[in-house]
A and B are shown apart, each in its own frame.
Chain A
Amino acid sequence: MSQYNPVTPEVIAELEKVVPGRVVTGAEVNPDYARDEMPIYGTRMPEVSIDVLTTEEVSGIMQVCYAHNIPVTTRGSGTGLVGGCTPICGGVVLCTSKMNKILGYDLDNFTVDVQPGVLLQQLADDAMSHGCMYPPDPGEKLATLGGNVSTNASGMRGVKYGATRDYVLAMTVVLPDGRITRMGAAVSKTSSGYSLINLMIGSEGTLGIITELTLKLIPAPKATISLIVPFEDLAACISMVPKFKQNHLNPQAIEFFEKEILITSEEYLGKQVFPRKVEGAEVGAYLLLTFDGDSQEELDNIVEQVAEMLLEEGAMDVLVADTPPKMKDAWAARSSFLEGIEEQTKLLDECDVVVPVTRIPEYVVYVDELAKNYQFRLQYFGHAGDGNLHIYTCSNDMEREEFLRQVDDFWNKVYAKTMELGGQISGEHGIGMGKVKYLAEAVGEANIQLMQGIKKVFDPKMILNPGKVCYSL
């Protein structure tokens, strides 16, 4: 921390020259800028905050901070779950929320140019109105695209459409020293030097600041339908997942969850949507599926096929959500899992592992068994289709220190198992500051050194979002 300088009135004056009247300091800084959605990893108020509007001003601000060794942290909506935008060394927070314009579509080539502060929901709605779909669909619809790209957060449609990485064609980046550069290109393929854009994607604001994005779109499917599939227990539910691909069925989304977390979420929303019993038997777990197609008939056929398979293989029933209001209801409960847990829990930590799809059943059994050795409760749900599980450790009665100690022990074992099964420690939330200590163990010494080397090349003064991802302070 001693390598950084405090923000002096002189620095503020220089920043004022770049963004007159918009340098916010001291008590005026919005307290939200001290943290993201997981305050358990720590909070810290920045000395200065600036809501940026253009690439040029970001460049100007970085030049000032680079010259004076001031740490800079970028944030969008602050919906991260690993402390990624927490300014642990103080300094300047740059907020991109006001860079929220969709700059233009190229409908012949199915691309769109956006500013990084555009919200996911904003682009999703706007693209729909142009007959297109932006496939990445993280659960947090009010996250910014800059944030999504910085964590490679892909969301619920990953199983059919792939990751955010597949949809980022080009970007404008301001480097830590203030230079502006363009990476990638709006073309379908390229073999033109090292893929810098792929380093930027998922780099969580540690290598550069994204100030413009060119994203790939696809034609919007004409019809979608959701199915709620209740099962007696989680094992029956999870073992269904690999069967879709085996039967040549291609759901857009496959979410799974146990009944506890559903009840938590429905209580939070004050609305019961999912049946708790089917023909008298208690439901233990659910699959929530979405299928899309080019026509209603195509979809009807797919649904019939899917339903037959599900019922044969042990589903208790198949409920159909085929109108927009019903689909909204079905997904509302799923979208509120995190908030539902947050509301009921004092101490909360989470992890976001990804394992090969076929290993999910044994993984879940392991985690469940393991959790019995600890005092906290476990709640989890996941994108079953791509093996991405969100596991939450919850406690209302433990001491904070004890909770952190037990949870750390738990994650170590959980991550070890994940690696053993051929998985990785984060599917989409990223490493931020919360998971730094587990990353070295997970990727190995050689890889961590490569990552640290790359960080030094991009950011020789280490001023951009210090203490995140591949090293701690």
Chain B
Amino acid sequence: MEAKTKDLWVFVETNEDGSAKNVGIELLAPGRDLAAKQGGALVALVVGSNVEAAVEEAATHGADKVVVVDSPEYKQFSTDAYAAVLTAMIEKYGPTSFLMGATPNGRDVGPRVSCRLQTGLTADCTALDVDEETGCVCWTRPTFGGNLMAVIMCPDHRPQMGTVRPGVFKKPAVTENKAEIIREEFHVDAASIRTRILEIIREAEGENVDLEGAEIIVAGGRGVGSAEGFDVLRELCDALGGTLACSRAAVDAGWIGHAHQVGQTGKTVGPKLYIACGISGAIQHLAGMTSSDYIVAINKDADAPIFGVADFGIVGNLFDIVPALTAEIKKR
């Protein structure tokens, strides 16, 4: 495909209730920069059913235009429907670049679209820029489990496509002007959707606590003091989208179930962020979490061994610090 414009498109994925998933709005931030450097407009593509809320959000966070495809067959994500509509819109408008959130759905449909268009897709990017010489997008991404970063370009094929993980960029500020809204009609008939969602299962807390797959973990130890004490940690978890964990001391004291235990006799975890609250940092606990990317320690005792492995340490009362942190996150 040849690019018809110098525009940069951001795919704004929606939820079944018609609201925008955060990542799509987040991508409008780097999108703004890149579009300017490429000399084109920033266009948000919103697809879903009853998506006025998402359109409004996209329109007021920096997009120049919002292209909307709003129809019942897009309410639930399916590879076939979304691959079709994305491809159709890209072929019609011919953007030079296309950003998507690296959500499970994004990573599902992104490569189908890039393959259908015989173009290049760079997955899971952590940084974006434009190469001065060629005007192409430079996509920076982790390889080898994050041990090596690669900078990728897609010089000759269009659109240049990339997926970006949620949380890498912050949502841009709300803008005064609203984007131009363009409503597109594109339908996919039910027969061409080859997958069917039969059931949605949400896990009750504590049953299958997925610590090993968690990206963010908030853990409590002896310093939490009681079963109720864990409630402030649960609130922080909710605000961060994290998983609750604990040290052996808390389990032995009966405050929380063993399924949450991290350590030598519990689970071994490697999240992006591990927040240890009231945990002293006994070697048995460290054995389970030192491969976390970033460790935050909150403890009253300045000599607690946990501060030896923490990237960010706070000497203080977790019952003051943790609620303050929860409040701070909710503000943003």
Interface residues of A (CB under 8 A from B): 77, 97, 119, 141-142, 268, 270, 336, 339, 343
Contact = CB atoms under 8 A, between A and B. Distances in A.
Q: Does more than half of chain B's interface fall in helix, strand or loop, or is it mixed?
A: helix
Contacts of A268: 258
Contact of B265 (A77, A97, A119, A339): A339
Contacts of A97: 283
Nearest to A339: B265
Contacts of A339: 265
5 contacts: A77-B283, A119-B283, A141-B264, A142-B264, A270-B267
B291 to A, nearest CB: 14
A296 to B, nearest CB: 25
Contact of A336 (B265, B283, B284, B287): B265
A270 B210 CA distance: 11
Q: Does more than half of chain A's interface fall in helix, strand or loop, or is it mixed?
A: loop
B287 A142 contact: yes
Given A336-B265, A339-B265, A142 B259 contact: no
Contact of A270 (B259, B283, B284, B287): B259
B255 to A, nearest CB: 15
B258 A142 contact: no
Contacts of B283: 77, 97, 119, 142
Given A142-B283, A270-B259, 12 more contacts: A77-B283, A97-B283, A119-B283, A141-B264, A142-B264, A142-B284, A142-B287, A268-B258, A270-B267, A336-B265, A339-B265, A343-B258
Contacts of A270: 259, 267
Interface residues of B, number: 8
Contacts of A343: 258
Interface in B93-118: none
A339 B287 CA distance: 15
A97 B267 CA distance: 24
A233 to B, nearest CB: 30
Contacts of A141: 264
A343 B284 CA distance: 16
Of B258, B265, B267, B284, most buried by chain A (CB within 10 Å of CB) is B265
Contacts of A119: 283
Nearest to B283: A142
Contacts of B258: 268, 343
Q: Which 5 A-B pairs have the closest CB atoms?
A: A339-B265, A142-B283, A142-B284, A142-B264, A343-B258
Nearest to A336: B265
Contacts of B265: 336, 339
Contacts of A142: 264, 283-284, 287
B54 to A, nearest CB: 39
Interface in B249-290: 258-259, 264-265, 267, 283-284, 287
B251 to A, nearest CB: 9
A434 to B, nearest CB: 21
B249 to A, nearest CB: 9
Contacts of B287: 142
B286 to A, nearest CB: 10
Contacts of B259: 270
Contacts of A336: 265
Contacts of A77: 283
A456 B259 CA distance: 49
Of A119, A142, A268, most buried by chain B (CB within 10 Å of CB) is A142
A116 to B, nearest CB: 15
B284 to A, nearest CB: 6
A189 B283 CA distance: 37
Nearest to A100: B283
Nearest to A97: B283
Of A77, A141, A270, A336, most buried by chain B (CB within 10 Å of CB) is A270
B158 to A, nearest CB: 42
A77 B282 CA distance: 10
B198 to A, nearest CB: 26
Interface in B109-132: none
B290 to A, nearest CB: 12
Nearest to A79: B284
A97 B281 CA distance: 13
A254 B187 CA distance: 65
Nearest to B268: A332
Nearest to A98: B305
B281 to A, nearest CB: 12
A119 B287 CA distance: 12
Nearest to B264: A142
